[in-house]
Structure 1
Amino acid sequence: MKIGLISIISIVLLSACLQAQTAFDRHFVEKTMRVDFILAGNNVQQAAYLLELKQEPLWGGGQINLIDSLGYGEYRFTISDFVSMEPLYSRGFCTLFEEWRTTAEAQAVDKAFYQSITFPYPQNKVFFKLEERKKDGTYQALLSIAIDPEDPNISKEQLPQYDVVKVVDGGASANMIDFTFIAEGYKSEEMDKFVADVKRMAAYILSQEPYKTHRNKFNFWAVCSPSDDSGTDNPRGDEWRRTAVNSSFNTFYIDRYLETADVFSIRDIAACAPYDHICVLVNSEKYGGGGIYNHFSIGTADHPMAEQVMLHEIGHGFGGLADEYYTSDVAYQNFFDLKVEPWQPNITTMVNFNAKWKHLIEEGVPVPTPSDKKYEKTTGVFEGGGYVEKGVFRPAINCRMKTNEAKGFCAACQEAIVNMIEFLTD
């Protein structure tokens, strides 16, 4: 009887995997469709405008879980069959534009930001819908278009041809998570340094939990994209560099915030390799970085805390994790609505804490949890997080999403990263 039960379970699991794989094969091919668009507006309104459709030669994303079940992101897009309107693919994501909308500047001026999303190249005509998440958690449509994969105006221009080095080889991209690093502020003669820097970053990331336990599910790539100058822009120091993706410190007038709005260049360069998540490595000794969910993560190579910063930023960009600090200088104002449960898995307003890390809290731990030494190694509900001191709670006294001095990710953040890894690979 035991052998028969095991056989039945194996058949059911194999059948499920084959059905999921067949869904990809039935609707998509292993290339990438890229939608370039503009997000524009101010702190109270926004609009989206289509720029161009592009074909990229590789698809590095998963082929199993095509429909997003995590619900992360301030935006989401859905690809549906044009005839039946059956959803075929969906993902959530965030943008630099949405962050800017919470700044004081957005109250005074209108701005436009480039944005780009990708999905597997469809075999047949599909319907693309882009939506924004409103403050109350509901969604509102921003852009809806029909996409015919045979449209002759879909750009198939050859992308830049850069040397690509696979620094960690876990296996075929269809079954792996591909972290693809692109060079920023490295001149042609500095590419050996870039590859060495990526190897160092990869080694550090894979030494940290939960990546360490799941290291056999990752590939790391280095795309050697040269810049005319070394380094990056530092407006406060009146330092300006001609670089591959036009990165700069002092984003939103925060000195340490390193970002770029040149997302099209990032996509063009990253397309030289398969990618699930893009990391921009900047050839600089200055402290700083940034990470935006399903967008990209960026950090410097040579600051003494560079590895810790990059791990933190990948927590944002790959894992969808929120910042757990609340005392550092930021440009955001009223970033979270305290009447709504945030979608980020590692903070809560207690509106719907049951959906967060409640199951990780041991019996007898008070909720909220005092920030006492007694609880410094305990999973609890500690007030302060998401840039505000009151009304937002985090899972631990200290965590890599709070400070670079933390020994690693807290239990809630580790669980969230594992959930992401399993979603993309299982």
Structure 2
Amino acid sequence: MRRRGSNFLTAAMLCAAGFAAAPAPAGAADAGPSKPTEWREAFSPDGTITRVKIPRQAEAAPSRTDEQAAAAADVIPIQNSGPSDSRFDMVIVGDGYTASEMGLLRQHAQSKWDEISTTAPWDKYRQNINVWLVNVVSNQSGVDNDPTEGVNRDTALDMGFFCGGIERLLCLSEPKAQAYAAQAPGVDAIVAVGHTTKYGGAGYPSLATVAGGNEHSGRIAIHELGHSVGGLADEYFTPDTTYPGGEPGEPNVTTDPSGSKWASYLGQSTPDGGAIGAHEGGSQYERGIYRPSQDSLMRSLDKPFNLIGLAAMDQAIGSKISGVAPGTSEQTPR
């Protein structure tokens, strides 16, 4: 079955078209008309997140050879909970793993899924999610610019650090990653793991990249899934910036200082600490926009989702699952 994967990737490409066009924080430098730019999220080991502007990466469509390699890739079920048309399908692809390192790729993929699946609200639906591993075989082991800038390797997805000059920004060819992910029976989310122990990752409209061999990088994927699955906005901000637009569509940011957008949650204790209210700053802007809590996973990697984020993720994951009671493998009455 390819239908759900195709629909997901089509939506991701439409999202990508608007990603670079999103309003930028006031005062951000532009590379100029001759050098198109795009935004990426950069992650520090201390959990802080920043949005950085980098030269737009040249991402040609996969070649015929790439397409043939993707079509020939083995798809391994890390967890198969049922038919894709009634389950949430997460797809993990790898880069920088040679044919003899597929066992290591499986270990890294399993480790990332284990971390994701113990985080709320993924833990609630763990038994109702399919997790597919696409065995992406690279010609050389490792990723570009690891351990230092200037190291180049021949890999299937062109993954590498120092993306746009940012050391821990781990970029790849999104179209190539999508081509491999589309081989899975269904695609509702994509995580790309790189063969490296160096901390890093990046967020794309359709996927997240993480260092496969780094035990702390899984939080990057969980944050990015907040965007690609839950439709959540970032809750951090750039100092001395003012939000220029109207009411945003994301559920966790608002221009209303009373927080009426999440009125039913106001005053309730939230897992990331404190109570739900209206805190100024979010969606990369310091002023003129408000977030539900002081800190959450959409602001800092060392925090859980707040109540608003949990509700959005719960709805998004649960909407893909039918025929079972959440958190169980038992059939529900029809």
Tell me the TM-score normalised to structure 1 length: 0.59
**Distance between the aligned counterparts of 1:94 and 1:337, measured in 2?**
21
Deviations 1:292-319 (Å, cap 9, x if unpaired)? 34x1121111223112122112222222
* Structure 1 counterpart of 2:287, from 390, 397, 408: 390
Could you say what secondary structure the match of 1:272 adopts? Answer: coil
Q: Which amino acid aligns with 1:223?
A: V
Q: 1:285 to 1:361 in 2, by over 3 A?
A: same
Could you say what secondary structure the match of 2:302 adopts? Answer: coil
Give 1:196 deviation, angstroms: 1.2
Could you say what secondary structure the match of 2:109 adopts? Answer: helix
Deviations 1:310-340 (Å, cap 9, x if unpaired)? 2112222222222222259xxxx97x84331
User: Does residue 4 of structure 2 align to residue 60 of structure 1?
Assistant: yes
Q: Which has the larger radius of gyration?
A: 1
Could you say what secondary structure the match of 2:124 adopts? Answer: coil
Give 1:287 deviation, angstroms: 2.1
Q: Matches of residues 6-405 of structure 1 in structure 2 within 5 Å?
A: 58-60=2-4, 93-95=14-16, 98-99=19-20, 102=24, 104-111=29-36, 159-234=70-145, 237-260=149-172, 262-274=173-185, 275-293=187-205, 295-326=206-237, 337-350=243-256, 354=260, 356-362=261-267, 376-405=273-302
Equivalent residue, structure 1, for 2:305: 409
Could you say what secondary structure the match of 1:425 adopts? Answer: coil
Comparing 221-230 and 158-167, the one that deviates more? 158-167
Q: Which amino acid aligns with 1:98?
A: F
Deviations 1:234-253 (Å, cap 9, x if unpaired)? 39722222211112333344
Is the 8 Å Cα contact of residues 96 and 292 (structure 1) preserved in structure 2?
no
Q: Which amino acid aligns with 2:263?
A: K
Is the 8 Å Cα contact of residues 243 and 289 (structure 2) preserved in structure 1?
no
Give 1:93 deviation, angstroms: 4.7
Is the 8 Å Cα contact of residues 255 and 290 (structure 2) preserved in structure 1?
yes
Q: Extract unaligned runs of 5+ from structure 2.
A: 39-66, 323-334
**Distance between the aligned counterparts of 1:292 and 1:92, measured in 2?**
10
Is the 8 Å Cα contact of residues 297 and 316 (structure 1) preserved in structure 2?
no
Is the 8 Å Cα contact of residues 259 and 278 (structure 2) preserved in structure 1?
no
**Distance between the aligned counterparts of 1:265 and 1:313, measured in 2?**
19
Write 1 or 2 for the structure with the bigger share of strand. 1
Is the 8 Å Cα contact of residues 225 and 244 (structure 1) preserved in structure 2?
yes
Comparing 227-236 and 177-186, the one that deviates more? 227-236
Is the 8 Å Cα contact of residues 20 and 37 (structure 2) preserved in structure 1?
no
Give 1:353 deviation, angstroms: 5.1
Q: 1:283 to 1:412 in 2, by over 3 A?
A: same
Equivalent residue, structure 1, for 2:318: 422
Is the 8 Å Cα contact of residues 257 and 278 (structure 2) preserved in structure 1?
no
**Distance between the aligned counterparts of 2:87 and 2:231, measured in 1?**
19
Q: Which amino acid aligns with 2:274?
A: K
The structure showing larger relative contact order (alpha-carbon pairs under 8 Å, at least 6 residues apart) is: 2
Q: 1:96 to 1:227 in 2, by over 3 A?
A: farther
Give 1:183 deviation, angstroms: 0.9
Could you say what secondary structure the match of 2:312 adopts? Answer: helix
Give 1:210 deviation, angstroms: 0.7
Could you say what secondary structure the match of 2:237 adopts? Answer: coil
- Pairs aligned (count): 285
Is the 8 Å Cα contact of residues 384 and 394 (structure 1) preserved in structure 2?
yes
Aligned-residue Cα RMSD (Å) equals 3.4
Could you say what secondary structure the match of 1:305 adopts? Answer: coil
**Distance between the aligned counterparts of 2:316 and 2:259, measured in 1?**
20
Deviations 1:158-203 (Å, cap 9, x if unpaired)? 5531122101121111111110001111122111111111111112
**Distance between the aligned counterparts of 1:259 and 1:392, measured in 2?**
30
Q: 1:186 to 1:413 in 2, by over 3 A?
A: same
Q: Extract unaligned runs of 5+ from structure 1.
A: 1-29, 31-57, 69-75, 78-89, 114-156, 366-374
